[in-house]
Amino acid sequence: MPLTAVARLEERTGPTQIDRYNRQRQITVNATPDGLPLGEAIAAVRQKSAELNMKPGYGLVFSGNAKQLT
């Protein structure tokens, strides 16, 4: 499934700094699951992130309402 099937991508400028979480570099992705229950959106994100086969040391951390459901 292409990302464009479930997301609208917008290129924007960002801060010129390195953000960290628990002393590790991080990126933040904000999303609003339009019409999709949050639990289903979380499951889809987990499935897609597992397919990325990230190298050791990389991972996924939920925040906000998604963190409360996990």
Q: Could you read off the pLDDT of 17-59 as tens digits, one per residue?
A: 888 888 888 888 888 888 889 999 999 999 999 999 889 988 8
What's the rounded Cα separation, in Å, for the pair 3 and 1? Answer: 6
Euclidean distance between CA atoms 53 and 6, whole angstroms: 20
Cβ neighbors of 21 (< 8 A, separation 6 or more) are: 61
Q: How does residue 63 score in pLDDT terms, banded at 50, 70 and 90? A: confident
pLDDT at 43: 92
Res. 1: pLDDT tops 80: no
Q: Which two tokens stand for residue 32?
A: 């609003």
User: CA-CA distance, 1 to 22, in Å (whole number)?
Assistant: 32
In this prediction, residue 29 carries a pLDDT of 83
pTM over 0.75: no
- Helix, strand, or coil (residue 3): helix
